Amino acid sequence: MSGTLILVRHGQSEWNLKNLFTGWRDPGLTEKGHEEAKAAGRKLRAKGLKFDIAFTSVLSRAQVTLDHILEETGQTGLETIRDQALNERDYGDLSGLNKDDARKKWGEEQVHIWRRSYDTPPPGGESLRDTGARVWPYYMAEILPRVLRGETVLVAAHGNSLRSLVMALDRLSGDEIVKVEIGTGVPIVYRLNADSTVASKEILEG
């Protein structure tokens, strides 16, 4: 058995609540989002998990979520690395638009393709495959080596950047990963084998 990798999507953001495409825009957390992040910290504390290092994106909703988790687990001084590679998928021209308004403008089917296909990007933005193309090399170079050394690594990021990691860890196809939902503030705890395969996976819901 090697180390432990914990993935947490940020708590609900103001734009999640308003049904807006967010991407690289930087809204804050809602009151519910702050509570979700604190609850994630409590769940991880109840599991007795102590982190060696944390990674997050350059977007505040992920960073604030991480701060809440570290406060709840009593690890506020933990070394933290922020990198754009872990940012949410860039929604390009859709960013800031209400999802219903986007459907009226481009049509239900086209917006569904942009949101749920694996490799069709919205105008000026990234597909899930594009997102993975920046997340995977960063994971391989910066995160995985620490886990394989036996460290416990926390990653607080976003629905689609974490979806990219889950796709690789769970060995899912492009068709399979687009059906996977990652809940806000729900920790996913992976324990990895020495060959980087998954020994166990636990989703800390409820």
Report how far Cα 183 is from the mean position of its chain's Cα atoms: 9
Give the span between the Cα atoms of 19 and 107, in whole angstroms.
17
Selection from 52, 45, 44 nearest residue 80 by Cα = 52
Which active-site residues does the annotation give?
10, 88
The tokens describing 99, both together, are 């999802």
* Burial class of residue 15, CB neighbours in 10 A (0-12, 13-18, 19+): buried
Give the span between the Cα atoms of 197 and 88, in whole angstroms.
25
Contacts of 177 (CB under 8 A, 6+ apart): 118, 128, 163, 166, 167
Give the span between the Cα atoms of 162 and 155, in whole angstroms.
9
Residues β-bridged to residue 161: none
Q: Find where tokens 């007795």 sit.
A: 48
**Cβ pair 26, 174 in contact under 8 A:** no
